[in-house]
A and B are shown apart, each in its own frame.
Chain A
Amino acid sequence: MANSIKVLNDKCVGCGQCAGACPFGAISMVERPEHPKKFKLVVIDLNKCTYCGTCFQTCKFNSIEIKKDAPQAGVDKSEYKGVWVYAEQRHGEIAGVVYELLNEGKRLSKQLGTTLSAVLIGDNIKSKVQDLISRGADKVYVCDDPVFIEFQDDTYTSILTQLIKKEKPEIILMGATNIGRSFASRVAARIHTGLTADCTSLEIDLGTRNLQQTRPAFGGNIMATILTTGHRPQMCTVRHKVFKEAKVEEGQKGEIVDYKIDVATLVNRTKFLGFIEDESSSVNIGDADIIVAGGRGLGKSEGFKLLKDLAELLGGAVGASRAAVDSEWIPYSHQIGQTGKTVAPKVYIACGISGQIQHTVGMNSSDIIIAINKDASCPMMQTATYALEGDLYEIIPNIIREIKSIRCN
């Protein structure tokens, strides 16, 4: 029943390629002076190995052998049909990511030859149904009840799992928002299926109907493609701005299923006491077309005043790297990157940001990247569409002046 991996020592030349390739650091190379050719010995730490096969693919000498068990039989997959999008709403407004998921969901459902459904949970929410249909939903399940007026994990988990158990979809896409991330995992655990977070690309393998879910791992240093082979539905979350939004097509028709709710079946162990709006956390860099972002190279908090001037001139927003936020030059709500927000504006202006991978994973899909930095050799300057070498405190005022003069003419 166990998976196994072994190194065929008669073929291995101790080149170490596999150790360098292993994404989990499970392979080490040990000196072996007793070997006639002093070949190093490959040692695999089975506590770390996930049998992912990267070493197998890397090895030029076919000296690694992996035997993987057929994944445990889970459920009868043929019973599961259809692609679902969880149509997250908060305070009566549909989250932006939902429209992007509808677009992607539509593409997947067409490939699979099935339908796209949206699940809408809330109170007094029926007015939003048509919006979902005109963005591509063939069917909308509506769970409308005062108990759902505010998001609480217990009630939302109960209703969504009831619905899944009854309707058996094969794929569920959810936004990687605070709400989505909070209860998707509970739902997946309750129905015992796989859930993949923060996917950046989704493809279908038509033979198995498996969803190939690709996501960044180790802070974006590597990408992993994940499958849920034996269980259904296949669940994943996707961040805002990763996929393009579905366009509104007037005159679309769809089926509306008003799901009957038996409130008595909903456990709830939490109480919602109130909501406090916070202006500082509602900085919406996610929706801006132009972002002017600053990093460690700014050197001081005043630098952000300059960036703000430029951003205002361009009608954009101000972003920041983690280094700038950690230095307390600007609040966390502006942070872009692995531990901040993901953005994909038309123009991203990186000022004094060196471009560590933790930052770039959050802005890599911007259309145009402009880097301004003293250090021409830093990764951001190397990869930018336009790389401006020099002191940002000299260059930016010049840009501002130039834009103003163009506009005046």
Chain B
Amino acid sequence: MNIIVCIKQVPNTTNVQIDHETGRLKRDGLESIINPFDEYAIEEGVRIKERVGGKVTVITMGPPQAEAVLREAIAKGADEGVLLSDRAFGGADTLATSYALSTAVRFLGKFDIVICGKQASDGDTAQVGPGIAEMLDIPHVAYVKKVESVDDKTIKVERMMEDGYDLIESSLPVLLTVVKEINNPRVASLKGKMVAKKAVIKVLDAAAIGADVKKTGLNGSPTQVMKIFTPPQRTGGEKFTGEPNKVAVALVKRLSDLSLI
């Protein structure tokens, strides 16, 4: 089973601080991490490999420093890392990103399952996974919360929906995007870290994977950023301090004045 996991390196924004004067995000010391949703994708890829055998290849697109997240994925059980790095990939929107990643997946040869996190924590679009599937001309199932069974021709998965879950069967090759309910990602093992340290990361540019640079990066992006601005801050209102009882009474008075109670 050839399993490909597409991951993204994102700024670690979980504890991000906002500069209250400018309203902007403080970037100092903001480290790059594996997109949290992709952690579940890596784990599921490794689990499928452990179940049915095979190889897990992790791909990311980004600057040379993105190699670090590939090594981390190897420490967590992936077998190989591939870095797509080329100025021509820069400034890509979701469509151009889907194109570059799908071209790389095809370049790497035979594949059975492609796994992505449901979305990236910096862009939050959830568009790249299905986009890759479309460009590879394979089916996809998004929001997968469980892989029920997999053999060399089909896979059965549970797809999380707002009102429960759907049970879907798909032929292989297939692309899955996974949600956090699917597993509990392992901590990188010591032996895995040793392997990752020595692993050779394959670095490929647009020419190497045979990508048409008219379709990559900014050139291949139908959407453009027109402007970027800081959202208006909500300004504060009335403050209540003192005895809990008095505070509570004052609030309830306001709410009943507004006939909300």
Q: Knowing A195-B95, A197-B125, A276-B167 touch, does A358 contact B13 (C-beta < 8 A)?
A: yes
- From B88, which residue of chain A is reached at the shortest CB distance? A2
Among listed B42-50, B52-60, B195-203, B221-229, interface-contacting one: B221-229
Interface of A is mostly: mixed
User: Which residues on the B side are within 8 Å of A384 (C-beta)?
Assistant: 236-237
Interface size class of B (residues with CB under 8 A): 35 or more
Q: Knowing A90-B163, A382-B236, A398-B247 touch, does A212 contact B226 (C-beta < 8 A)?
A: yes
User: Which residues on the B side are within 8 Å of A104 (C-beta)?
Assistant: none
8 additional A-B residue pairs with CB within 8 Å, beyond A52-B227, A227-B224:
A46-B90, A47-B87, A72-B219, A197-B127, A221-B16, A388-B251, A390-B241, A394-B244
Expressed in whole angstroms, the Cα–Cα distance for A281 and B163 within the complex equals 6
How far apart are B247's CB and chain A's nearest CB, in angstroms?
5
Please pick, from A47, A221, A231, A281, the residue contacting B13 in the complex, using a CB distance under 8 A: A221
Q: Knowing A21-B24, A47-B63, A221-B25 touch, does A388 contact B247 (C-beta < 8 A)?
A: yes
Q: Knowing A178-B161, A219-B121, A347-B255 touch, does A185 contact B169 (C-beta < 8 A)?
A: no
Expressed in whole angstroms, the Cα–Cα distance for A382 and B82 within the complex equals 46
Expressed in whole angstroms, the Cα–Cα distance for A54 and B225 within the complex equals 10
Q: Knowing A195-B95, A227-B226, A278-B163 touch, does A391 contact B13 (C-beta < 8 A)?
A: no
A189 near B: Cβ within 8 Å? Answer: yes
Q: Are B30 and A282 in contact (CB under 8 A)?
A: no
Please pick, from B25, B165, B169, B222, the residue contacting A230 in the complex, using a CB distance under 8 A: B222
Q: Are A197 and B126 in contact (CB under 8 A)?
A: yes
Q: Knowing A51-B91, A217-B123, A389-B241 touch, does A226 contact B219 (C-beta < 8 A)?
A: no
User: Which residues on the B side are within 8 Å of A212 (C-beta)?
Assistant: 226
Q: Are B87 and A274 in contact (CB under 8 A)?
A: no
Q: Are B240 and A387 in contact (CB under 8 A)?
A: yes
- Some 9 contacts from A to B, beta carbons below 8 A apart, are A21-B22, A219-B16, A219-B121, A221-B13, A273-B167, A338-B121, A346-B260, A347-B255, A398-B244
- From A240, which residue of chain B is reached at the shortest CB distance? B162
User: Which residues on the A side are within 8 Å of B27 (C-beta)?
Assistant: 25
User: Which residues on the B side are within 8 Å of A13 (C-beta)?
Assistant: none
Q: Are A399 and B248 in contact (CB under 8 A)?
A: yes
Hey, which bits of chain A sit against chain B, CB under 8 A? Answer: 1, 3, 20-21, 23, 25, 45-54, 57, 69, 71-72, 74, 90-91, 150-154, 157, 177-179, 181-186, 188-190, 192-198, 212, 216-231, 269-278, 281-282, 290, 314, 332, 338-339, 346-347, 356-358, 364, 368-370, 376, 379, 381-391, 394-396, 398-399, 401-403, 406-407
Q: Are B181 and A332 in contact (CB under 8 A)?
A: yes
Q: Knowing A281-B160, A390-B241 touch, does A223 contact B13 (C-beta < 8 A)?
A: no
Which of B133, B167, B240: most chain A CB closer than 10 A? B240
User: Which residues on the B side are within 8 Å of A183 (C-beta)?
Assistant: 130
Q: Knowing A178-B160, A198-B125 touch, does A185 contact B139 (C-beta < 8 A)?
A: no
User: Which residues on the A side are within 8 Å of B249 (C-beta)?
Assistant: 398, 402
Which of B121, B169, B228: most chain A CB closer than 10 A? B228
Please pick, from B91, B93, B171, B228, the residue contacting A223 in the complex, using a CB distance under 8 A: B228
User: Which residues on the B side are within 8 Å of A91 (C-beta)?
Assistant: 163
Interface of B is mostly: mixed
- From B14, which residue of chain A is reached at the shortest CB distance? A358
Expressed in whole angstroms, the Cα–Cα distance for A270 and B11 within the complex equals 35
Q: Are B240 and A270 in contact (CB under 8 A)?
A: no
Q: Mark B138-177, 1 if CB is under 8 A from A, else 0.
A: 1111110000000000001011111111111111001000
User: Which residues on the B side are within 8 Å of A338 (C-beta)?
Assistant: 121, 124
Expressed in whole angstroms, the Cα–Cα distance for A188 and B96 within the complex equals 12
Please pick, from A153, A226, A271, A347, the residue contacting B226 in the complex, using a CB distance under 8 A: A226
Expressed in whole angstroms, the Cα–Cα distance for A264 and B234 within the complex equals 54
Expressed in whole angstroms, the Cα–Cα distance for A197 and B93 within the complex equals 11
User: Which residues on the B side are within 8 Å of A72 (C-beta)?
Assistant: 214, 219
How far apart are B120's CB and chain A's nearest CB, in angstroms?
11
Q: Are A223 and B126 in contact (CB under 8 A)?
A: no
User: Which residues on the A side are within 8 Å of B233 (C-beta)?
Assistant: 383
Q: Are A395 and B248 in contact (CB under 8 A)?
A: yes
Q: Are A222 and B228 in contact (CB under 8 A)?
A: yes
User: Which residues on the B side are within 8 Å of A227 (C-beta)?
Assistant: 223-224, 226
Q: Mark B97-112, 1 if CB is under 8 A from A, else 0.
A: 0100000000000000
Q: Are A271 and B169 in contact (CB under 8 A)?
A: yes
B205 near A: Cβ within 8 Å? Answer: no
B188 near A: Cβ within 8 Å? Answer: no
Expressed in whole angstroms, the Cα–Cα distance for A369 and B238 within the complex equals 11
Q: Are A376 and B14 in contact (CB under 8 A)?
A: no
How far apart are A74's CB and chain B's nearest CB, in angstroms?
7
Q: Are B91 and A50 in contact (CB under 8 A)?
A: yes
Q: Are B30 and A25 in contact (CB under 8 A)?
A: yes
- From B233, which residue of chain A is reached at the shortest CB distance? A383
| Complex A-B, nearest 6 residue pairs according to Cβ-Cβ distance, in ascending order | A398-B248, A194-B222, A194-B223, A394-B244, A185-B127, A182-B142
